[in-house]
Amino acid sequence: MQLDLKPKYAVRLDAADNKHIYYTDVIGKEGPYNSVTYFTEVFPAPWLVNWTKKITLEAVRHELKENPAVGEDVEKVIERIAGRAEKIRDEAADYGTRLHHYADLWVAGQRGFDVDKDLENSWLAFKDWLASSQLEILMGDTKVCSLRHGYGGSFDALARDKRGLCGIIDFKTSNVFSDSHYCQVAAYGEATEEMYDVHIDWGLIVKFNKISPDFDFKYVRKMPRFFRRFMRAKELKDDISEKISLE
């Protein structure tokens, strides 16, 4: 059955200053709307703390090897270490952004383009997953916004399975699956149902390895449950932001 995937309104993303703010063309409800990931920042992320420690130690190790100066101003050394740790973090974010870009080109049917050499393992993993998924990809990277609940976001793909049921797919290059990922997918699904005449039955988080051409995935089966959890996170984030603005 052919689906009519025409949005009820247009959504625009403003990603200036590393902030993701969404706007619509609906008169009186233009925005701005904060992103799904802005609200899921309230979830505990011990794995992220450990990763931050790891990249900081890597920066210290690099500094000691490359600049083993004795008697140098400690503050200057710390500044260099902090700068390198930030560079590692930014490179990780850039890696994910570039992989998402190429994946979206592939989903859209484009071929014959070259992929950055450092993405090779994740790129092979992406193509292997897509070939084995038995999913019909209906849409690639898409901006959505929930006027009803007040947030925006971008999903990586909308797909239909062999049963004819539609779902939202989110690509990841992080090393773990977290509760925030499940809630993000559920929030994208809710906004998609609001914008399009389609029912979202499931979600899927696919993780692509950077070290080897392997992938892993987790289905999100209880979409309403995780959406309720997302809305509680949104309420908490809104309360925190309101308190800060009043101080």
pLDDT at 162: 95
Nearest Cα neighbor of 34 from 244, 233, 246 is 233
| Nearby residues of 118 by Cβ (< 8 Å), 6 or more positions away | 95
First to last CA, the chain: 55
Q: What is the pLDDT of residues 92-120, one digit of tens each?
A: 668 889 999 999 999 999 999 999 999 99
User: CA of 196: how far to CAs of 4, 52, 85, 162, in Å?
Assistant: 8, 39, 42, 21
Q: What is the pLDDT of residues 57-97, one digit of tens each?
A: 666 666 666 665 555 565 666 666 566 556 555 556 688 89
Long-range contacts of 162-167 (CB under 8 A, 24+ apart): 162/134, 164/1, 165/201, 165/202, 166/3, 166/138, 166/198, 166/199, 166/200, 166/201, 167/200, 167/201, 167/202, 167/203, 167/204
Residue 246 reports pLDDT greater than 60: no
Rounded CA separation 185/203 (Å): 6
Q: Letter for the amino acid at 52?
A: T
Mean pLDDT across 7-32: 93
* 3-class secondary-structure state, position 111: coil
pTM over 0.75: yes
